[in-house]
Homo-oligomer: A and B are copies of this chain.
Amino acid sequence: MGIRERKLKHKEDLKQSILDAAKQLFQREGYEATSIRKIAAEIEFSPTTIYLYYKDKAEIAHALHREGFKIMADQFRVLSYIEDPFERLKAMGRVYLQFAIDYADYYELMFVMKEPIQHISGCFDMEEWKEGAEAFHLLQSNIIACQEAGYFKGFDPTAFSMVVWSTMHGLCTLKLHGHLDHVIREKGLFEGVEDALQHTFETFVQFLKGTK
């Protein structure tokens, strides 16, 4: 055993320390590579110690899941300075898309994987899903603002928000999971996946705009 005297001031910091190690490992090598044993090795503790602070791996995944929403919320913050509602919605889409690309593993954790969200599904505590709900509300309020400006008239804001979210989420996952590659390669139209992604997004925006 090595030198670990001043590693943790108070013992309860271990829970945070575990999360930090997990986050670091996860951001560098992805979720697959983030095993309990590797986290344990990182903080120089036995693998079983982790189970004294987290019920199981899903609970750690959920903690990271929340971290992801924090990062995303930060990225969304700048949007409030955009006054025109449609431009704001458009920028929101762009930020969402960029987040999915820059923080691919976080995106996976937040919107694809079942594990972190199944962990909540048991407890009906809404506190756990707060960050997610906030993000959805931001979208919804932007949609409503757009409607007040004459867009998407007569649609239920919630349902319409879900349509928009679905489109962006679908686009992100198709890209991240490599399902666009084959479609793109088969057609010679686009200059790579990144280009196809941007063009599809532009098309979607144009389509939304056309309904004013």
- Chain A interfacial positions (CB closer than 8 Å to B): 111-114, 117-118, 120-121, 124, 126, 129, 132-133, 136, 152, 155-156, 158-160, 162-163, 165-171, 173-174, 177-183, 185-187, 189, 196, 199-200, 202-204, 206-207, 210-211
A170-B168, A182-B133, A203-B160 given as contacts; is B177 within 8 A of A114 (CB)? yes
Q: Is the CB of B211 within 8 A of A210?
A: yes
The residue from B129, B203, B211 contacting A155, defined by CB atoms under 8 A apart: B203
- What residues of chain B lie closer than 8 Å to A120, measured between beta carbons? 182
The residue from B171, B181, B202, B211 contacting A207, defined by CB atoms under 8 A apart: B211
Q: Is the CB of A117 within 8 A of B177?
A: yes
Q: Is the CB of A173 within 8 A of B112?
A: yes
How many copies of the chain does the oligomer comprise? 2
The residue from B133, B173, B200, B211 contacting A163, defined by CB atoms under 8 A apart: B200
- CB-CB nearest in chain B for A196: B162
Q: State in angstroms the CA–CA spacing of A183 and B114 once bound together.
A: 15
Of the listed residues A168, A183, A187, the one surrounded by the most CB atoms of chain B closer than 10 A to its CB is A183
- What residues of chain B lie closer than 8 Å to A163, measured between beta carbons? 167, 200, 203-204, 207
- What residues of chain B lie closer than 8 Å to A187, measured between beta carbons? 158
How far in angstroms is the closest Cβ of chain B from A37? Answer: 20
A121-B181, A183-B136 given as contacts; is B114 within 8 A of A159 (CB)? no
How far in angstroms is the closest Cβ of chain B from A134? Answer: 11
- What residues of chain B lie closer than 8 Å to A168, measured between beta carbons? 166, 170
Q: Which 6 A-B pairs have the closest CB atoms?
A: A170-B170, A166-B170, A169-B170, A159-B203, A166-B171, A167-B167
Of the listed residues A159, A173, A178, the one surrounded by the most CB atoms of chain B closer than 10 A to its CB is A159
Q: Is the CB of B186 within 8 A of A126?
A: yes
- What residues of chain B lie closer than 8 Å to A112, measured between beta carbons? 112, 173, 177
Q: Is the CB of B210 within 8 A of A159?
A: no
